[in-house]
Amino acid sequence: MTASGKYTIGFDLGGTKMMAALCDRDYRIVAREKKKTRPENGQDECFARMVTCVEELLEKSGVTADEIAALGVGAPGPLDHVNGVIRQTPNLGWSDFPIRDKFERELGIRTFLDNDVNLGTLGEFVFGAGKGGTNAIGIFVGTGIGGGLIIDGRLYHGHSGMAGEIGHMIVESDGFPCGCGGNGCLETVASRSIVSAVAWLMSLRGDAPHLLAETREAGEPIKSGALARAIKNGDGRVRELVEYAARRIGEAVATLVNVLSPDTVILGGGLVEAMPDVIVPEIKKTLDKKALRLLMEGVRVVAAELGDDAVAMGAAHMAQNGLSGSGGK
């Protein structure tokens, strides 16, 4: 294992696809390799695909493992970032998988692991929409709502290593049951999952004709893109629904501003990225109304910029800084 390699690899392990990105010293992505995750085949088979994915990335780039300083992996949580172990991932079905040690043994490359939402936040903070900040909050609205916290320029993990569960802020005292076992969490009023459930009701009831045309044959949760198209085509009630969710997210962000006083708020995830023009202004309006004025002074509220590269770039940055001893806290 060498720490003097010219390149770093950032790996984004998602529930449906994986991507390995080869980054040069300036964190420019010089090559990408993607594969389906196929979690149904079990963790060993899936890990083998990850290794193949890295090997193929190296092969097609004409780079050897010796030239790689470090590998950073972003995976769905909960996980143990200190020891590099994936504890349990509901959407992968893995449990207690020592992915860091396995990668190091298999490839001979020093490896670091963190939560994908943390690394997406770090990627946007260092290279994307959040550049130039010091204390930042990343909020990613998709199936669930994930969050990452940057304190004094570094990812913050807290006591458990799992800080940043913004989707499980309690926003209704006696609200809908949540997937976490609690109830009234932010996810129960503002995730893409609940929005698409209510939108589905709307379409059944005849309130969303454009959406109905899109989803008639789907049989699964309505995607963010379909919601965005329905709004664009004139489904006013769907727009109201999405604006409602945005206001609830805005209230949660107001809470985070009042408690954490960040300088930067990064908004991302499928729902936001499918229609930033509908969601971001509504969040900003809510913040102006509900966050304390003195704490909102100079706060940037920005939409994520790096799309599918954010996690891999954050992972590459973590790996590089892990080596120099300034990261991985």
* From 158, 177, 234, 236, residue interacting with its own copies (rule: CB under 8 A): 158
Q: How far is CA 207 from the centre of its chain?
A: 32
Q: Are 291 and 254 in contact, with CB atoms under 8 Å apart?
A: yes
**Which lies closer to its own copies via its Cβ, residue 184 or residue 322?**
184
Closest to 25 measured CA to CA, from 328, 305, 324, 326: 324
CB atoms within 10 A of CB 329: 12
**Which lies closer to its own copies via its Cβ, residue 10 or residue 138?**
138
Q: Does 252 bind its own copies (CB under 8 A)?
A: yes
Site for its own copies in 52-91 (CB under 8 A): 78
What are the backbone angles phi and psi of residue 73, rounded to the nearest 5°?
Answer: -120, 130
Residue 288 CB, nearest approach to its own copies (Å)? 10
Residue 193 CB, nearest approach to its own copies (Å)? 18
**Which lies closer to its own copies via its Cβ, residue 197 or residue 260?**
260
Distance CA 97, CA 84 (A): 9
Q: Does 171 bind its own copies (CB under 8 A)?
A: yes
Distance CA 56, CA 76 (A): 23
Q: Does 284 bind its own copies (CB under 8 A)?
A: no
The pair of structure tokens assigned to 207 is 């309130």
Q: Does 135 bind its own copies (CB under 8 A)?
A: yes
**Which lies closer to its own copies via its Cβ, residue 260 or residue 280?**
260
> Taking contact as CB under 8 A, which single stretch among the options 11-19, 64-72, 230-238, 253-261 is the one that binds its own copies?
253-261
Distance CA 235, CA 226 (A): 11
Collapse the DSSP code of 27 into the 3-class scheme (helix H, G, I; strand E, B; otherwise coil) and give the result. Answer: coil
Residue 329 CB, nearest approach to its own copies (Å)? 9
Closest to 87 measured CA to CA, from 113, 61, 65: 113
> Interhelix angle for 224-232 vs 192-204, to 10°?
50
Closest to 164 measured CA to CA, from 177, 145, 182: 145
Closest to 261 measured CA to CA, from 310, 221, 226, 297: 297
Number of amino acids touching its own copies (CB under 8 A)? 51
**Residue window 298-317: x/- pattern of binding to its own copies, with contact defined by CB under 8 A:** xx------------------
**Residue window 2-21: x/- pattern of binding to its own copies, with contact defined by CB under 8 A:** --------------------
> Taking contact as CB under 8 A, which single stretch among the options 15-23, 36-44, 260-268, 320-328 is the one that binds its own copies?
260-268
Distance CA 54, CA 34 (A): 9
> Taking contact as CB under 8 A, which single stretch among the options 24-32, 116-124, 207-215, 245-253 is the one that binds its own copies?
245-253
> Interhelix angle for 116-127 vs 310-323, to 10°?
90
Residue 260 CB, nearest approach to its own copies (Å)? 6
Which positions lie near its own copies, rule CB under 8 A? 78, 134-135, 147, 149, 151, 156-166, 168-173, 180-184, 247-248, 251-252, 254-256, 258-263, 289-295, 297-299
